[in-house]
Structure 1
């Protein structure tokens, strides 16, 4: 049985969020989209439920944090290349996102962070396939570098 992942994110502007995630190359599932929420389809098993803050609050008794000032979670996505990481980040920046810190290049892994217009944190990374197989330390040893 495949597991589906639903990441629930609060938003102050549902239409802006839908446009932002569309710019990253996602699609929308209209069956689970209305005036309160949008179901953003990342792939066959990963979905973002972008929920108006007031609606998001109906799912919990805890206060809803403001992602513009504090990080509660960071969702990271693996990519097939460094170029794909850069392409997604550039699309997100053009669609109103922000890059909160410089890219990290650890030799075996390249990553960049992207905050959506509400401040929800996303990460995009490429890891060398050999590093996935043998681990970062062995990969770096084979390439004459230290693991950061």
Structure 2
């Protein structure tokens, strides 16, 4: 089986959050969705689990609590795009779907164009495009 990633995100309003992600062009997996959670398929190996806040709390057995609506940010979900235009489209669709622009798209380093948006619950998504003409081979540094 191929390795997958399934971020679990607490949400205040499951229907609103589901509509936001479907508005970005992603698909709902009905098999793994119910009244407390929605599985949103981004690609063959990436799905986002939107969990109603109380349901999310049930996965925190040590008394931790979700920081829904908190100003504190613990993670930025980064998603590659096929073009600079797709980055811009995702950012525009986030704003139209009830999210908010978090950081406008810019070329922060040569060959990497990115911007970020917050979903309705404040979860940050960075959308980025890497110029395929620039090598991305990992170069190990020696000390």
Is the shorter-chain TM-score for this pair beyond 0.5, marking a shared fold?
yes
- SS of 2:104's partner is coil
Give the TM-score taking structure 2 as reference length: 0.88
What is the root-mean-square deviation in Å for CA atoms of aligned residues?
1.4
User: Hey, what's the Cα distance between the residues in 2 that align with 1:110 and 1:117?
Assistant: 24
Give the TM-score taking structure 1 as reference length: 0.86
Aligned counterpart for 1:92 among listed residues 88, 91, 94:
94
Counterpart position of 2:141 = none
Contact 1:68 1:118 in 2 (8 A): no
User: Hey, what's the Cα distance between the residues in 2 that align with 1:56 and 1:132?
Assistant: 40
Question: Number of paired residues?
Answer: 135
User: Hey, what's the Cα distance between the residues in 2 that align with 1:100 and 1:72?
Assistant: 15
Counterpart position of 2:115 = 112
Q: Which runs of 5+ in 1 are unaligned?
A: 136-148
Aligned counterpart for 1:129 among listed residues 102, 113, 132:
132
Q: Which runs of 4+ in 1 moved over 4 A?
A: none
Q: CA deviation at 1:63?
A: 1.8
Change (3 A) 1:122 1:67: farther
Q: Which runs of 5+ in 2 are unaligned?
A: 139-143
Greater strand proportion: 2
Q: CA deviation at 1:103?
A: 2.1
- SS of 1:101's partner is strand
Contact 2:87 2:105 in 1 (8 A): no
Greater helix proportion: 1
User: Hey, what's the Cα distance between the residues in 2 that align with 1:55 and 1:133?
Assistant: 40
Counterpart position of 1:143 = none
Instruction: Please show how residues 2-81 of structure 1 align to structure 2 within 5 Å.
Output: 2-60=2-60, 61=62, 62-81=64-83
